[in-house]
Structure 1
Amino acid sequence: MKPSSILALAPFLGVACAQPTENKPPRFDVVAVSEGPVQYYALAQSSSFFYLGQGDGNTDSFCPPKIEKAGRCPPGKDTVLKDAHTLDTVVPGQIIYVDSNYAVRATGPNSGADDEDKDDIDVSTSDGFKHIPGDQSGQWDYQADGVDGFLACPYNNGIYQVYVNSADAKPPRGQKLDTCVPFTAGTVEYKLPANATAAAWQY
């Protein structure tokens, strides 16, 4: 995420929630803006999971070799949402949901998933994700079934995995829940290059 985008989120340190407006950005970046170990870490998607602090905030994405050779691949460097529960991709249908361990995940392209993962997917959990736009920045949130907000749980070498803030969350690698920290997910509008139709071909 660009430094200018992070600076635009600075008001969140004093006010956790942005006031809604009618001008909802068509797509947006997400960055942690709560004080603590994940402050200013950008959201990054990798292998269907979401992380904070992975590298410099870049995400894992894919573009077919033929499209890449033709110079028509979208940037694919940031994890960008086109609404509160969908990734911004050329290949449609990557839905964000909450799995049985309360981890934030994304389906594969075309709203599908690998057969071995299908039992773990309840895409209806995507209904709890909300985007609250603001004048210059906004907030991404999750509220459903008594769950409110997000947790960042230690994963490896300063990387945190993203969960919803539930007392039943099961952190990775045998970590205890009290090692996780709640955070506010701020948003800033993502502007595509002139020749792109989405932020990534697919994640």
Structure 2
Amino acid sequence: MATRSGSPIHFLGLNAAGQKFWLGGETASYCPENIVKNCPPGNQTVLAPGGSALVSPVPQVIHSFPFPLFLPLYFPCKKNLTIYQDTSVPGGQRVYVDPNGALSFTQAHSASIPEGSSLGPFEYNAAEPWSHYSFNGWGSSGFMACPADGGRWQVFAALGNATVPQGNVDDCLGFSAIALPYSGETPAWQYI
């Protein structure tokens, strides 16, 4: 969830779609029903710091508002994380920042990322009442949301030289990425 008081992005959920991340819009996911029985709903974007849900006991949801109530769990500050999306697909899906500065995720079944991309450092900082994710690579100060088509805002590393949808970084808004603990089942087979 994004927080930036008095702005159009305040309390918008972070959603994975089109191998990018967006504020507003819907999560896009896929499940091969002919292979997988009981597909997960695929309507939430959940990040698992340090690896996929299979190795990380504390995946985080950045969920649309109003959000479900979860027990408040707090964790120490973790720097230089590798972040994956919480999925069932073999190999998981890794989160990275592409060469244009866009927060992105890998295709299912592939660890391939574009040359010149950054795998971090991502940071997870525990705090009350909410914890935060940030990206501090390339001199970034966190994340920014840039207006895009369809009323959505595309998420980028907060960089003055990012290549943004409407061409003007000055139209982008810096925000805090709030992380809420998630203890449910794996939320998606894969994000698309």
TM-score, length of structure 1 as denominator length: 0.71
Structure with more helix by fraction: 1
How far, CA to CA, are the matches of 1:157 and 1:73 in structure 2? 28
Q: Deviations over 1:157-186 (max 9, x none)?
A: 3210000000111111x4311111111101
Partner of residue 168, structure 2: 176
Partner of residue 20, structure 2: 49
Residue 108 (structure 1) shift:
1.2
Q: Are 2:137 and 1:144 equivalent residues in the alignment? A: yes
* Paired residues of 2:143 and 2:176 also in contact (CA < 8 A): yes
Partner of residue 189, structure 2: 201
How do residues 10-29 of structure 1 correspond to structure 2 at under 5 angstroms? none
| 3-state SS in 1 of match to 2:153 | strand
Residue 67 (structure 1) shift:
4.8
Q: Deviations over 1:108-164 (max 9, x none)?
A: 123434xxxx5x2446x2221111123552101011231111110000232100000
Partner of residue 19, structure 1: none
How far, CA to CA, are the matches of 1:179 and 1:145 in structure 2? 20
Partner of residue 109, structure 1: 108
* Paired residues of 1:67 and 1:73 also in contact (CA < 8 A): no
Unaligned runs of 5+ in 1: 1-30
How far, CA to CA, are the matches of 2:11 and 2:19 in structure 1? 22
Q: Are 2:3 and 1:33 equivalent residues in the alignment? A: yes
Partner of residue 9, structure 1: none
| 3-state SS in 2 of match to 1:145 | helix
Q: Are 2:45 and 1:79 equivalent residues in the alignment? A: yes
Residue 75 (structure 1) shift:
2.2
Q: Are 2:149 and 1:191 equivalent residues in the alignment? A: no
- Taking every aligned residue pair, what percent have the same amino acid on both sides? 32
Stretches of 4+ aligned residues off by more than 4 angstroms: none
Unaligned runs of 5+ in 2: 50-80
* Paired residues of 2:147 and 2:154 also in contact (CA < 8 A): yes
Partner of residue 30, structure 2: 62
* Paired residues of 1:93 and 1:108 also in contact (CA < 8 A): no
How do residues 1-16 of structure 1 correspond to structure 2 at under 5 angstroms? none
Residue 80 (structure 1) shift:
0.4
TM-score, length of structure 2 as denominator length: 0.75
How far, CA to CA, are the matches of 2:161 and 2:133 in structure 1? 21
* Paired residues of 1:151 and 1:180 also in contact (CA < 8 A): yes
| 3-state SS in 2 of match to 1:134 | coil
